[in-house]
């Protein structure tokens, strides 16, 4: 029997203290202890990307990481992209382009795309394909997902220019 | 699964002391450890988390070459300016390694210490004659990467030793290098066959001064193909010579048949890809003095 340890990290902007086993995976702590079921567990082997979350803004497979390793760090799950009841414009773009079918891959897809767009607001098709290699989708055929991301990127063109001028 | 205890040393000395305990296992990015623990292949009593140790992460120029901390993540190799300038092949290999979600966790040290036959980062390190820096209870030692791998998941590390960094001599002038990875998919897949080659040409560009060829996924460990290297060194480079070297590389392959590929296919692809990697390496070798 091993005692649980207390870990502290920020999830979607809020400080969280959780008691969990030292070898508990991040995906388990998020889903079972914090009720954040947006991160899906698909393959449990790091290959499908359904469990993707952002760790300090970078995508990681939460099934391949121990929660204890998130100590002191910032985690973003799909629940944290927009206030409750609202959609982030990137989520809206996925809806409008039919980039969501069963939806199981969607949280991971959107978070991988978000990490790319934060680094590179106007990515090429190649950039998008490379950013999504770790996210499998069995429904959409990927094309609509890429279109959604490109359309979102186009819609921010004016805005990011204005920001730069200031 | 009995829950292991987790220790968080902040120095190499503390880590080495913690690893002396029975059932203690070093942990870096955990991308090999988590699956192994879940399958019950290993049952550590103590996980010694190396990530909190200062000074064994990052890339630096030193007098002896480029130093890469063992805890440097694969993702960090992709956009490190020192790597881009001195060892661009390492960044190329990193770009085809798994996915962003894994590269942001996995470390170069974990890739070597796990010692899979398919360890992608072993190949560029082997062709650049890199040395592994190791620390244990009795102090520091260095191991050539060509002596580091001892079998499937087995390395030259002794009990309680950890890998702290890799020292890569700066590639010599007029050196070109290339890497090829064959898998079903471009990313996110272990290689059926991986090949890296580095060649140094004479100042007139005609002769091969030095050659290094490394093979992955075709033997119990990543390894050099010494016979292929010997075919090339000191000779005038011709298409026929490259074909001979590629043929010689096959003798270093001890492939198995598994669900990814048959042994025969791996042998044949060793020949084909060694030829291609060598041609690309020669093409990339600058003919004149480097700018
Ligand atoms: C989906 C997926 C895709 C993958 N794709 C690839 C791929 O394309 N190419 C490839 O080569 N690999 C791939 N891998 C394997 C794995 O990600 C790599 O081997 C990775 O580099 C391991 O590093 P880590 O830091 O996660 O190691 P860990 O899992 O932390 O450790 C691995 C082993 O090394 C030991 N160890 C780690 N660091 C040290 C150290 N500094 N000193 C002593 N011992 C140490 C540990 O005790 C353990 O035995 C993939 C894995 C997954 C899950
Ligand atoms: S569940 Fe984590 S990658 Fe598939
Ligand atoms: S929408 Fe079903 S898996 Fe992508």
- The confidence band for B290, taking pLDDT boundaries of 50, 70 and 90, is very low
By residue count, chain A amounts to 166
pLDDT of residue A157: 82
Residue A9 has pLDDT above 80, yes or no: yes
Average pLDDT score over residue span B260-274: 94
Residue A129: CB atoms within 10 Å: 14
Res. B187: pLDDT tops 80: no
- Look at chain A and report how many structural domains it folds into: 2
Mean pLDDT (whole number) for A116-127: 97
Q: Are residues A73 and A94 in the same domain?
A: no
Residue of A139, A142, A134, A145 lying closest to A48 (CA atoms): A134
Handedness of CA B146, B147, B152, B153 (dihedral sign): negative
Q: How confident is the model at residue B183 (pLDDT cuts 50, 70, 90)?
A: confident
Confidence at residue B3, expressed as pLDDT on a 0 to 100 scale: 83
Given A59, A80, A101, which residue is the final one in a domain? A80
Tell me the pLDDT tens digit for each residue of A45-75.
Answer: 999 999 999 999 999 999 999 999 999 999 9
Residue that finishes a domain, picked among A80, A112, A135: A80
Interface membership of B3 toward A (CB under 8 Å) = yes
Contact B171, B82 (CB under 8 A): no
Residue B184 reports pLDDT greater than 80 = no
For residue A112, what is the domain's CATH number? 1.10.150.120
Q: Which of B181-190, B235-244, B253-262 has the highest mean pLDDT?
A: B235-244
**Element spanning A162, H or E:** helix A157-165
CA distance B155 to B162: 11
Report helix angle A89-96 to A143-155, nearest 10.
130
CA-based nearest residue to A128, from A144, A143, A116: A116
Q: Residues A106-121: what's their mean pLDDT?
A: 98
Is A12 in the same domain as A61?
Answer: yes
- Taking each helix axis from N to C end, the angle separating A89-96 and A106-119, rounded to the nearest 10 degrees, works out to 120
Question: How many whole angstroms separate alpha carbon B36 and alpha carbon B46?
Answer: 15
- Same domain assignment for residues A115 and A71: no
Residue that terminates a domain, selected from A38, A61, A80:
A80
Determine, for residues B4 and A61 on separate chains, whether the beta-carbon distance falls below 8 Å.
no
Q: Are B210 and B172 in contact (CB under 8 A)?
A: yes
Kindly state the average pLDDT of the residues B205-213.
Answer: 97
CA torsion through residues A55, A58, A63, A68, sign: negative
A61 to chain B: nearest residue by CA?
Answer: B101
Distance from CA of B31 to the nearest CA of A (A): 6
**What's the confidence (pLDDT) of residue B190?**
78
| Cβ under 8 Å to A: B residues 93-122 | 95, 98-102, 104-105
DSSP chain B: -PPPEEE--SSHHHHHHHHTSTTEEEESS-TTHHHHHHTTS---SEEEEGGG-TTSSSEEEETTEEEEETT-BHHHHHT-HHHHHH-HHHHHHHHTSS-HHHHTT-BHHHHHHHT-TT-TTHHHHHHTT-EEEEEETTEEEEEEHHHHEEETTEESPPTT-EEEEEEEPPPPTTEEEEEEEE-SSSSSS--SEEEEEEEEE-TTS-BEEEEEEEEESSSSS-EE-HHHHHHHTTSBP-HHHHHHHHHHHGGG------SS--HHHHHHHHHHHHHHHHHHHHHHS-SSS--
Q: Residue A117 pLDDT more than 50?
A: yes
For the record, the structure tokens of A34 come out as: 């914090």
Can you tell me the mean pLDDT for B176-181? 97
B101–A52: do the CB atoms touch at under 8 Å?
yes
The answer on pLDDT for B65 being more than 60 is yes
Of all atoms in ligand 1, which is nearest to the CA of residue A46?
1
* Shared domain check, A97 and A68: no
Residue A159 pLDDT exceeds 80: no
pLDDT of residue A160: 53
Kindly indicate the confidence band of residue A1, based on its pLDDT and cuts at 50, 70 and 90. Answer: very low
The ipTM value here is: 0.94
Contact B30 A66 (CB under 8 A): yes
What does the pLDDT read at residue B288? 57
Encoded tokens for A10: 């920020």
- Predicted confidence at residue B45, as pLDDT, reads 96
Question: Which strand (E) or helix (H) includes residue A157?
Answer: helix A157-165
Same domain, A53 and A90: no
Q: In A, which residues are within 8 Å of B100 by CB distance?
A: 58-59, 112, 115, 131, 133-134
- Report the distance separating Cα B28 and Cα B214, nearest Å: 25
For residue A74, the cross-strand partners are A10
- Residues B105, B113 contacting (CB under 8 angstroms): no
For A8, the enclosing helix (H) or strand (E) is: strand A5-11
- For the stretch A79-88, pLDDT in tens is 999 999 999 9
Rounded CA-CA distance B237/B224 in Å is 20
Does residue A75 sit in the same domain as residue A18? yes
CA-nearest residue of chain A to B36? A45
Looking at the fold, whether A37 and A98 belong to one and the same domain comes out as no
Q: Is the CB of A103 under 6 A from ligand 3?
A: yes
Q: What is the largest CA-CA distance in chain A?
A: 59
Ligand 2 centroid to residue A53 C-alpha, Å: 11
Q: Does B30 touch chain A (CB under 8 A)?
A: yes
Look at residue A164 in the predicted model and tell me its pLDDT: 47
Task: Tell whether A70 and A96 lie within a shared domain.
Answer: no
- Is B34 in contact with A64 (Cβ distance < 8 A)? yes
Distance between Cα A106 and ligand 3 center (Å): 6
Q: Cβ contact (<8 Å) for A2 and B4?
A: yes
- pLDDT of A166 reads 38
> Quick check: B263 and B254 in contact, CB under 8 A?
no
End-to-end CA distance of chain A: 58
Higher model confidence: residue B279 or residue B258? Answer: B279
Are A142 and A101 contained in the same domain?
yes
pLDDT at A154 over 90: yes
CA angle B100, B106, B112 (to 5 degrees): 135
Is residue A42 within 6 Å of ligand 2 at its C-beta?
yes
Under an 8 A CB cutoff, do A49 and B101 touch?
Answer: yes
Distance CA(B163)–CA(B2), nearest Å, equals 27
The dihedral region occupied by A142, where left means phi > 0, alpha psi between -120 and 50, and beta the remainder, is: left
Chain A closest CA to B35's CA: distance in Å? 7
Domains in chain B: ranges and CATH: 5-52 (3.30.43.10), 59-168 (3.30.465.10), 175-284 (3.30.390.50)
Closest Cα partner for A26 from B76, B29, B73?
B29
Q: In whole angstroms, what is the distance from residue B135 CA to residue B171 CA?
A: 26
Domain match, A76 and A90 both: no
Give dist(CA A27, CA A30) in Å, integer.
5
Indicate if A91 and A152 belong to the same structural domain.
yes
Does one domain contain both A13 and A73? yes
**Residue A12's CATH number:** 3.10.20.30
The model's pLDDT over B66-96, given as tens digits with 9 standing for 90+, comes to 999 999 999 999 999 999 999 999 999 999 9
* Average pLDDT rounded to a whole number, residues A111-127: 97
The residue whose CA has the least distance to atom 3 of ligand 3 is A137
Beta strands in A42-93 (DSSP E): 52-55, 58-61, 74-76
- Region B13-36: what's the mean pLDDT? 97
Range of the domain at A50: 5-80
- Mean pLDDT score of chain B: 95
Higher pLDDT, A165 or B260: B260
Please state, rounded to an integer, the average pLDDT across all residues of chain A: 93
Q: Is A139 in the pocket of ligand 3 (CB under 6 A)?
A: yes
């Amino acid at each position: 029997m091993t005692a649980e340890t207390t870990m502290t990290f920020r999830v979607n902007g809020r400080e969280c203290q959780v008691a969990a086993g030292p070898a508990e995976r991040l995906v388990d702590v998020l889903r079972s202890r914090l009720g954040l079921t947006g991160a899906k567990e698909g393959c449990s082997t790091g290959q499908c990307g359904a469990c993707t979350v952002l760790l300090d803004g970078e995508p990681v497979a939460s099934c391949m990481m121990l929660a204890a390793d998130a100590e002191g760090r910032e985690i973003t799950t799909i629940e944290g992209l927009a206030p409750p009841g609202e959609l982030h414009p990137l989520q809206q773009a996925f809806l409008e382009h039919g980039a969501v079918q069963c939806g199981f891959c969607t949280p991971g897809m959107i978070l991988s795309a978000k990490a790319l767009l934060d680094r590179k607001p106007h990515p090429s098709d190649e950039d998008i394909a490379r950013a999504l290699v770790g996210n499998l989708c069995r429904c959409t055929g990927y094309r609509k997902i890429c279109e959604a991301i490109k359309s979102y990127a186009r819609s921010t063109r004016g805005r990011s220019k204005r920001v730069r001028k200031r | 699964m009995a829950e292991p205890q987790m220790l968080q040393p902040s120095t190499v000395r503390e880590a080495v002391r913690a690893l002396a305990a029975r059932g203690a296992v070093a942990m870096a990015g955990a991308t090999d450890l988590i699956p192994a623990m879940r399958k019950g292949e290993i049952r550590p009593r103590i996980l010694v988390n190396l990530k909190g140790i200062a000074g064994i992460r990052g890339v630096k120029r030193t007098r002896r070459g480029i130093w890469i901390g063992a805890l440097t993540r694969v993702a960090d190799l992709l956009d490190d300016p020192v790597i881009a300038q001195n060892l661009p092949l390492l960044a190329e290999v990193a770009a085809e390694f798994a996915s962003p979600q894994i590269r942001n966790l996995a470390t170069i040290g974990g890739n070597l210490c796990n010692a899979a036959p398919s360890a992608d980062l072993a190949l560029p390190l082997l062709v650049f004659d890199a040395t592994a820096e190791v620390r244990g209870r009795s102090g520091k030692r260095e191991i050539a990467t060509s002596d580091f791998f001892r079998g499937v998941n087995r390395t030259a590390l002794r009990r309680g030793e950890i890998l702290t960094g890799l020292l890569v001599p700066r590639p010599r002038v007029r050196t070109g290098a290339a890497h090829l990875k064959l898998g079903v998919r471009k990313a996110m897949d272990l290689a059926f066959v991986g090949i890296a080659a580095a060649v140094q040409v004479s100042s007139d560009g005609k002769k091969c001064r030095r050659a290094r060829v490394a093979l992955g996924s075709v033997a119990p460990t990543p390894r050099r193909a010494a016979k292929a290297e010997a075919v090339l060194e000191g000779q005038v480079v011709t298409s026929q010579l490259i074909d001979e070297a590629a043929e010689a590389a096959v003798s270093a392959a001890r492939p198995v048949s598994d669900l990814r590929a048959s042994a025969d296919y791996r042998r044949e692809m060793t020949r084909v890809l060694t030829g291609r990697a060598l041609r690309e390496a020669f093409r990339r070798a600058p003919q004149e003095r480097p700018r």
